[in-house]
A = this chain, B = another copy of it.
Amino acid sequence: MPRICVRISLAVLTALAALAATPQQSADHALLGFTAESTRAQRDLEARFDAQLDADNLRNWMRHLSRHPTHVGSPGAKANAEWIAEQFRSWGFDTRIDEYQVLFPTPRERMVELVAPTRYTLRLGEPVLAEDATSGVTQDRLPTYNAYSADGDVEAEVVYVNYGIPADYEELERHGVDVRGKIVLARYGGSWRGIKPKVAADRGAIATLIYSDPRDDGYFQGDVYPEGPYRMEHGAQRGSVQDMPQYPGDPLTPGVGATANAERYTVEESPTIMKIPVLPISYGDALPILEALGGPVAPTSWRGALPLTYHLGPGPARVHMRVAFNWDLTPAYDVIAVLRGSEYPDEWVIRGNHFDGWAFGAGDPLSGMVALLEEARVVGEMAQTGWRPKRTIVYTGWDAEEPGLLGSTEWAEHHGAELQEKAIAYINSDGNGRGFMGVGGSHTLERFVNQISPDVEDPQTGVTVRERLKARLAVGGNREAASRTDLPISPLGSGSDYTPFLQHLGIPSLNIGYGGENGGGSYHSIFDSFDYYVRFGDPTFEYGVALAKTAGRATLRLANADVLPLRFGNFADNVRTYLQEVEQLAETMRDDTEHHNLLVDQNAFALAADPKQTYVVPEKKETVPYLNFAPLHNAVARLEGAAARYDSHLASAMAKGGLDADANSRLNALLQGMEQRMTRAEGLPRRPWFRHMIYAPGFWTGYGVKTLPGVREGIEEREWEEVRLFVGEIAAALDRVSDGLEEAVGILD
């Protein structure tokens, strides 16, 4: 489901710059959580694991699994679930399929017509290409649409709203353009797609068309398919528009598993289903509409790469749009494959990837799924030769991720209590491709990841995947990256199946993938095919093997470590960076507000505007108060001290050959619950489902992470009481972590 993007964000670069250097562990050093002796055994195991991975399996399995449509409810998805379960069984896993009944609307009718000033009936379809074998497979295939759009039959003038995020509507107001009663045309990008109709409906629009502008996703980026990897004229991006930042999963059963007998909302009651019709269109279909728009010329940053002058409207372009859906419950099949741990069977390492796609799903998600399968094959076969992991490993293949993380969410909700008791980590992957390692996750695992990445070789260059990533960061302008050893992992927002584990249940999570050199223009189209993937995704499947090595190491080390390899110094460092960011955010907003209000007083906005164009002068804004961040500073300082003490006490104990069995057990039990100490039972404001107080997707932005969300979004939305509340709540959470670390030091002594 996510658009894998390992372009390094400014936030990550900032985080990196802020992190102190940590000494690199060479291959000779003990692994985190392992004694010297258990390290040797683990390294032997990993050498055997690596040796057995075979890229040909990935290729063959992808070809097999992507031969038919794979969306939830399709015969192909059911067949794939059963085939995947059969593989797991054949490799010795105790395997079952957990079934949930989820709401998954499919289109009955889709019609869009430009009715004025000229007429044009939108194509709403992708062509068959000789170069792409499955592009002609139509059996069971879903057309281009946005799942959880409302039904509707509307006709109105069109307004172009850029990315359709809240700031875009403020800009429209300045130009005197009102979207009430209008159909908005938004381009993909700038937010998760579900934000666009949510904001449009909030502003009074009656429907949303979302198109892929070639500036962001088409010929501006590079040669288009089938000549190159980028989106072609008639390619459109399917995808879910449920209000996932409120809660993901089945819209009818928030918080509980969507079992057959679960209590359900009606469709009308569900708060995450869009209230207006939405449809994705290609840039070929958007062109005649944009050409027909009048009104003010769009601001510079709003203009895409179509050969025209972008106007805002409203009209004279007028569109008639009709969409209707089958609002049916559909079975989702989660494949669960268990390898019982020999020493700590009730400690679970969960490793997952979804297997449902929007069409054939070769890249998204099967490229990750086949890597997981190969990883599981070797783990399973090693287990059949006598070795067993100390902890239980659970491999999962999730169904129904695309409509909104349904398979993983329902399973995590259904088994929530047990998972909070037993799960020690969740390791996710999704679409994968040629390029650079990208890891996001809990920063208690940042050090752990930095011990894995030097052990995996980059297939193209022969250096380690960490060296290659470091080079990319350094060349990208990050001065710190060239002189330090530890690389940052990104905080997680949402967009794949880690969300219910991390943000609902408080289970430490990682999301691992490779990419950055693998096109991208087939995303959620019928051209996300085997033919595309072997030309532009990862032609040799070597990066699939690299993913198996990376996620496999994470799984095996978590499963075998004597002491769980969580480290809190890195976590504290990151939280300090986020704290600095939110303080700066308040400061900047205060300055901006003062400047803005001064300009209003001076009538500067009116004087700077072109009198020949409509310009609505903005109003004054509420002053930003000075806020008390001291409780957070105190909590972070305490955490840093506690983390350092824990590290040194643990290091002493491990250097002496480890802890006795009882102490070891008590320590692991304590560590297992540490991430949950960062959660809040009542959840975040306006979205109780999201409980993690350090990481959340943005309520008004979607996938993108908001760290310290209660404070950060409180500032952004000028909800000062919320800021005050969450400064206290987060400080208390950090204190609970510090309490845990003090307790751990007690165990170690």
* A residues in contact (CB < 8 Å) with B: 214, 219-224, 228, 230, 297, 303, 305-309, 435, 460-461, 463, 467-468, 470-472, 474-476, 479, 482-483, 517, 595, 598-599, 602-608, 610-612
Contact = CB atoms under 8 A, between A and B. Distances in A.
Contact of A482 (B220, B230, B297, B598): B598
29 contacts: A219-B307, A219-B308, A219-B309, A222-B309, A223-B297, A224-B309, A228-B309, A303-B305, A305-B307, A461-B606, A461-B611, A468-B607, A470-B604, A471-B599, A471-B602, A471-B604, A471-B605, A471-B606, A472-B608, A474-B598, A474-B599, A474-B604, A475-B605, A475-B608, A482-B598, A482-B599, A482-B604, A483-B598, A517-B610
A222 B308 CA distance: 9
Contacts of A461: 606-607, 611
A602 B604 CA distance: 51
A297 B519 CA distance: 13
* A471, A606, A611 — most chain B CB neighbours (10 Å): A471
A482 B307 contact: no
A13 B261 CA distance: 66
Contacts of A482: 595, 598-599, 602, 604
The 10 A-B pairs with the shortest beta carbon distances in the complex, nearest first, are A471-B607, A471-B604, A475-B608, A307-B307, A472-B608, A471-B608, A460-B611, A219-B309, A474-B604, A517-B610
How many copies of the chain does the oligomer comprise? 2
B612 A517 contact: yes
A608 B476 contact: yes
A435 to B, nearest CB: 8
Nearest to A474: B604
A610 B517 CA distance: 7
Nearest to A591: B479
A10 to B, nearest CB: 16
Nearest to A311: B223
A520 to B, nearest CB: 13
Contacts of A303: 220, 305
Contact of A604 (B460, B475, B612): B475
Nearest to A476: B608
Contacts of A517: 610, 612
A479 B612 contact: no
A599 B307 contact: no
A219 B308 CA distance: 6
Contacts of A595: 474, 479, 482
A223 B604 contact: no
Contacts of A219: 307-309
Contacts of A221: 309
Contacts of A605: 471, 475
B475 A599 contact: yes
A682 to B, nearest CB: 40
A621 to B, nearest CB: 15
Nearest to A467: B607
Given A219-B309, A221-B309, 16 more contacts: A214-B307, A220-B309, A303-B305, A305-B307, A435-B610, A460-B611, A467-B607, A471-B604, A471-B606, A471-B608, A474-B595, A474-B602, A475-B604, A476-B608, A482-B595, A482-B602
Most chain B beta carbons < 10 A, residue from A297, A303, A307: A307
A607 B463 contact: yes
Nearest to A306: B307
A467 B603 CA distance: 10
Contacts of A612: 517
Contacts of A223: 297, 309
B607 A472 contact: yes
